[in-house]
Amino acid sequence: MEMVLSIVTLAAYAIVMTILAAKTAGKSGDVDYYTVTDRKTGTLQGSLSIAATWIWAPALFVASTQAYNNGWVGVFWFIVPNIATLLFMIPFAKRMRERHPNGFTLSGFMETVYGKPVRGLYQLETGLLSILSMSVNLLAGGTVLSILSGMPLWVSTILLLATAFGYTWKYGIKSSLITDAIQMIFIIGALLLFVPVAIGVKGFDSIVAGIQGINGIDGLFTSSGIGVAVGFGIISAIGLMAGPIGDQSFWQRAFSIDKNKLGKAFGYAAIAFGLVPILMSTFGFIAAGAGLEVGNAGYVNLEVIQAVFPAWVVVPFLFMLLSGLLSTIDSQMLALGSLARDYDKDLKTQKGLMIVGALVALGIANIPGVSVLIMFLIYGTLRAATFLVTVLALLDVRLHRHAVFTGLATAMAVGYPISIYGNLNGLGDWKLWGTILTVSLSGLVAYAVTKPIFMASKNKEKVTV
C-alpha cells in the first residue's frame, strides 16, 4: 500500500509540475530562451527560484541531523553561512551582468578574461558540481521514497530523475523558474503547518531539553563546540560561501533575472531560504529532547513525522521533500546542459549533455555506502577551488592567464584530494586543511606565478626599447 501511495504521489507531482511548466513556457524552441529566458525575470519569481535551488538535500536533512546530534551549535554552523552566502552573492551577480551582459555561463565569462584553457577547468568544476549535486539529491529523495514505500533505492532514484526530466526537458530554465517558485511556497507552507503541530504534541519543553543535541554541545567556544566547528562548521562554511560563486545554476539565474532586480532577488532569497533549515531543525531538537528512538539520524525529520503524525501526513511531507530535492535536480540538470552554450547554439547538444550527466549522477547516487553528509562536504569543497579566482576576476584584479590556470590546477590536484581523503576516512584535520588548501591555492599560486611573468614582460619591453 505504501509503495502504491508513494508512486501515485510522485506521479501526481510530475503531472502538476509539467502542466505548470507548459502553461508558462514561452518560446520553448529558442535556444537562448531555453537557457536564460528573456533576461527579464522578476524579483518574486527570481528570489523564490534562487531559494528553492539553494534548498538542496542538506538544507532539508542536515539541519535536522545537526540539531539532533550537535544542538543549536551545529544548526548555527549550517544556517548562518547559508544565509550569508546568498547575501554575499549580490555584488558579484551585479558585477557579472555589467561585465558580461549577454553571457550564459560562468565558464564563458572566464574565457573572455583568461582564455580557453581556464574555461576548460571551469567547465570541469561546474560540470562535476552539477553531477554531484544531482547525485546527493537523488540519494536523499530516493532514500526517503525507499523508507516510505519499501521499493529499492535504484527504482526510487530512477523515478525521481524521470520526474525532473518530465517537466524540465522541453521547456528549459523557464520551467525551472516557475516550478521552483511553486515548490518554495509549498515547502514553507508545509513546514509552517507541521512544526507547530509537532511542538504541540511533544511540547515546547522537548525543544528546550534537546537544544544541546544528544552530544550535549554546550557552546560555540567550548571544547565540544570547537570540535563541531573543526569537524563540520568551518568546512561547511567555506564550502557554502564559495557555493553560488562556483555554481552554474546560480549564474544561470543571475543571467535570467532582470539586472535591476538582482540585489532584491538574492536578498529575499536569503530570507526565504533561512526559514526552511530553521524550521527543519526543530524536528532534530524534538527528537533529542523527547528521547525518541531514532534509527537513522540522517533522516531524523522523517522519523519524527512518522512518530508524531498520523500516516496520511506522510503524503504532504513527501510532497514537501520532493519539492526541495527536485528543484535542485532540475536546476543542476539545466546548468549542466547550459555549459554546451560555450561551444555552440545547438539545443540538441545541451539536451544531450543533460542526459549524459543525469545518468552519471544516477549511478553515483546508487554507490553502496555513500551518505548525504559526506557527499555534501565533498562537492562543497569542489566549488571552493574556483572561488578566489572568480572573485578576483570580477573585481578586475589583473592576473596572467597561465598563472590562473596553474593556480586552479594546483588547487584541484592538491587541496581537493586531501579533502576527499579526510571526508571518506573521517579525519577532521585532513578535511579542514584540504578545504583550506582548495580555497587558497588557486588565488595564491595564481598571484605568485603572475608576478614573475609580468616582471619578465616589463624587462623584455625595456630591452626592446
Predicted confidence at residue 464, as pLDDT, reads 39
> Could you give phi then psi for residue 366, rounded to 5 degrees?
-100, 15
Residue closest to 242 by CA, chosen among 421, 108, 75, 81: 81
Predicted confidence at residue 359, as pLDDT, reads 94
Strand partners, 41: 257
| pLDDT profile of the chain (465 residues), mean per 10 | 69 80 70 88 93 77 89 90 91 95 94 93 91 88 79 88 85 87 87 88 90 89 87 78 86 95 95 91 91 82 82 75 82 93 87 93 87 68 84 90 91 87 78 84 88 62 40
**Total count of domains within the chain:** 1
Beta carbons of 188 and 268 less than 8 angstroms apart: no
Residue 296 to residue 303: CA distance in whole angstroms:
8
Predicted confidence at residue 26, as pLDDT, reads 64
Predicted confidence at residue 338, as pLDDT, reads 94
C-alpha grid cell, residue 366? 546508487
Residue 465 to residue 458: CA distance in whole angstroms:
11
Q: Domain of 174: which CATH number?
A: 1.20.1730.10
Stated pTM of the model: 0.85
Residue 376 lies in a domain: no
Q: Compute how many other C-beta atoms are within 10 angstroms of the C-beta atom of residue 182.
A: 17
Predicted confidence at residue 252, as pLDDT, reads 95
Residue 462 lies in a domain: no
Residue 313 lies in a domain: yes
Residue 429 lies in a domain: no
Question: How many residues can be counted in the chain?
Answer: 465
Residue 425 lies in a domain: no
Beta carbons of 126 and 357 less than 8 angstroms apart: no
Predicted confidence at residue 29, as pLDDT, reads 65
Predicted confidence at residue 337, as pLDDT, reads 93
Residue 14 to residue 162: CA distance in whole angstroms:
9
Strand runs (DSSP E) across 271-422, as ranges? none
Where in the sequence is the domain holding 311, given as residue range(s)?
2-368
Residue 100 lies in a domain: yes
C-alpha grid cell, residue 216? 550535549
The owner of cell 519569481 is 45
CA pseudo-torsion sign 79, 81, 85, 88? positive
Predicted confidence at residue 44, as pLDDT, reads 93
